[in-house]
Copies of this chain bind each other. A is one copy, B any other.
Amino acid sequence: MKIYFAGAIRGGREDSAFYLELVEQLRPYGTVLTEHIADEQLTSLGESMDDRAIHDRDLAWLKEADCLVAEVTTPSLGVGFEIGKATEWDLRVLCLFRPNTGRALSALIAGSDRLTVREYQDASQVKKIFDEFFT
């Protein structure tokens, strides 16, 4: 199982500790292609690579993946873009959202029947969500 994990980078890194925890908890289920999203050294300036190279690499990984797991609490153009592509390409998509931040999830995500949205409060609740999604 190849898993594409998505989280905000230039949209803001305030959830990076969650991304790290989610990537750790995804490991038993398959290979996470995008571990760098969880790198706590990565700032909202993003990677030092050329944008075109990042775009082409990320879309190649997404095409290769069996599923997309996205943390969608911090609004992000890139994460939305990836969800838009993944739902067109018929990947399985799991979106994880923390409502206790006071944010409201985009209606385009919350209202889609081509993906699964699951809410959680903290990382201890994620194993159950992953177990259900992957089995």
Is the pair A109, B85 in contact by a Cβ cutoff of 8 Å? Answer: no
Residue of B nearest to A59 (CB): B108
Q: Which of A27-35, A110-118, A127-135 contacts B (4 or more CB under 8 A)?
A: A110-118
**Residues 79-94 of A contacting B (Cβ, < 8 Å):** 79-85, 87-88
Residue of B nearest to A56 (CB): B111
Which residues in B have their C-beta under 8 angstroms from that of A79?
Answer: 77, 80
Is the pair A81, B55 in contact by a Cβ cutoff of 8 Å? Answer: no
Interface presence of A60 (CB below 8 A): no
Residue of B nearest to A114 (CB): B55
* Closest CB in chain B relative to A115 CB, distance in Å: 10
- In this complex, the interface size class of chain A, counting residues with CB under 8 Å from chain B, is 35 or more
**Residues 44-102 of A contacting B (Cβ, < 8 Å):** 44-47, 49-56, 58-59, 72, 74-85, 87-88
Is the pair B88, A51 in contact by a Cβ cutoff of 8 Å? Answer: no
Is the pair A111, B52 in contact by a Cβ cutoff of 8 Å? Answer: yes
* Closest CB in chain B relative to A120 CB, distance in Å: 17
Is the pair B84, A108 in contact by a Cβ cutoff of 8 Å? Answer: no
Is the pair A108, B88 in contact by a Cβ cutoff of 8 Å? Answer: no
Is the pair A107, B78 in contact by a Cβ cutoff of 8 Å? Answer: yes
Distance of A88 Cα from B27 Cα, bound (Å): 30
Interface presence of A25 (CB below 8 A): no
